[in-house]
Amino acid sequence: MAHQHEHGHDRDRHGADGELPHPPAPPEPRRIVPERPMLVRGLGMAALAGGLLWAGWNTAGKTWLLAPAGLLLGAGGLLSAWAAAIHLTGGERFDDHPFV
């Protein structure tokens, strides 16, 4: 849907002609094991996840008064496990969209 009015935009400067401003970057090499900093952070987060899940399970099992704290610890453990999985699989790419 094209603009029906003029308000000072130069369409050629915004890439409206459908061409990419530069060729796509070459693909990064595939790795079986992530780079050392990512591996260390991922293993640390995995250990944190295990500790939080263990603490949440034990806390929630003590008494019903501690169940909310156990749920919070368990949720923190699940989020840490998710972050560990991202780090151990090589990290998240933020520039994988063709127009970024």
Q: Can you give the residue ranges of every domain in the chain?
A: 36-89
pLDDT (0 to 100) of residue 97: 58
pLDDT tens profile 62-95:
998 999 999 999 999 999 999 999 999 887 766 6
User: Given pLDDT bands bounded at 50, 70 and 90, which one contains residue 12?
Assistant: low
Give the contacts of 86 (CB within 8 A, at least 6 positions apart): 42, 92
pLDDT tens profile 17-59:
567 777 777 777 777 788 898 899 999 999 999 999 999 999 9
